[in-house]
Amino acid sequence: MKAEIFDIQRSSYVDGPGIRTTVFFKGCNLRCAWCHNPESQSCRPEIMFYRDKCVGCGKCAEVCPNGLKFCTRCGKCELYCPRDARKLCGHEYTADEIFAEVAKDKLFYDNSGGGVTFSGGECMLQIDFLEEILKKCRAAGIHTAVDTAGHVPFELFERILPHTNLFLYDFKCFDGELHKQYTGVDNRLILENLARLLELGHPLWVRIPVIPEVNGTVEEMERIRAFLMSHGRPENVELLPYHAMGEHKYAAIGRDVRVFTAPSDAKMTDLRRVFEGI
């Protein structure tokens, strides 16, 4: 069994407790307008071309079996580019290969209370692989976290609940129409799944990207808090300020970028205050 993975990041401090390795699955069923990893959305490998790095040496065309007329995603252009202007985003891995990478840092996990986080894209779209790798990690005593937007049937959660120490659950906004406008889907299923996880009492962190034009008001945060508290109590609520660090990736995959405003520190303080006591 294999999965399409687009990145493996070591020594992460932002995807759960402790020092973690984060494995990014390719493919997502949301299209968040502020996504900072647009290369995660397609389930297929993609060539990313960073035009500002290119010096026009022509090596990519020379080694490409098709002279750059069309792409079969063989990766030769990336391999031979002297300036890293081309990157093949997405590679197939077996569960054993991923586990071997993750297990290299077990000492750091054990000493920091960390572990492995499976993210995306939406890692739950490759559920068979995800279930297999979670089992391997749990059997080895490695703490596991699943980062999800929750837009999947709850049966998929039930499959991995016994093997997942922690869910990191993305909460975009409470209003369904607004959610659909900015992500491409309404949030009915997402809210239902979140409510069920909270009611089960499974360890869960809620993570909210703060986009001032979309959800950056105290009133919106109060609605989110009320929903959470009506179904249980998450272990943690993280507010993540919008940033523009992924904007260059849109050009690299030939897409237009939509720019939003980064919230001020004062705004973030006001919004975080809503969740004090959780």
Cα separations in angstroms, 157 against 82, 95, 110, 145: 44, 19, 26, 12
On the question of a cis peptide bond just before residue 18, with omega within 30 degrees of 0, the verdict is no
Q: Architecture of domain 48-88 in CATH? A: 2-Layer Sandwich (3.30)
pLDDT in tens, the chain (278 residues): 899 999 999 999 999 999 999 999 999 999 999 999 999 999 999 999 999 999 999 999 999 999 888 899 899 999 999 999 999 999 999 999 999 999 999 999 999 999 999 999 999 999 999 999 999 999 999 999 999 999 999 999 999 999 999 999 999 999 999 999 999 999 999 999 999 999 999 999 999 999 999 999 999 999 999 999 999 999 999 999 999 888 999 999 999 999 999 999 999 999 999 999 88
Tokens representing residue 273 in the block: 């205050």
Domains 2-44+92-273 and 48-88 are alike in CATH topology? no
- Three-state DSSP at 237 gives strand
Q: Which of 161, 180, 175 is nearest to 215 (CA)?
A: 175
Cα separations in angstroms, 82 against 54, 79, 86, 87, 208: 9, 8, 9, 12, 39
Contact 118, 144 (CB under 8 A): yes
Contact 222, 237 (CB under 8 A): no
2-44+92-273 CATH: 3.20.20.70
- pLDDT value at residue 245: 86
Cα separations in angstroms, 58 against 48, 70, 76, 77, 225: 16, 16, 13, 10, 55
Contact 227, 193 (CB under 8 A): no
Domain boundaries, the chain: 2-44+92-273, 48-88
Question: Alpha-carbon distance 253 to 111, whole Å?
Answer: 39
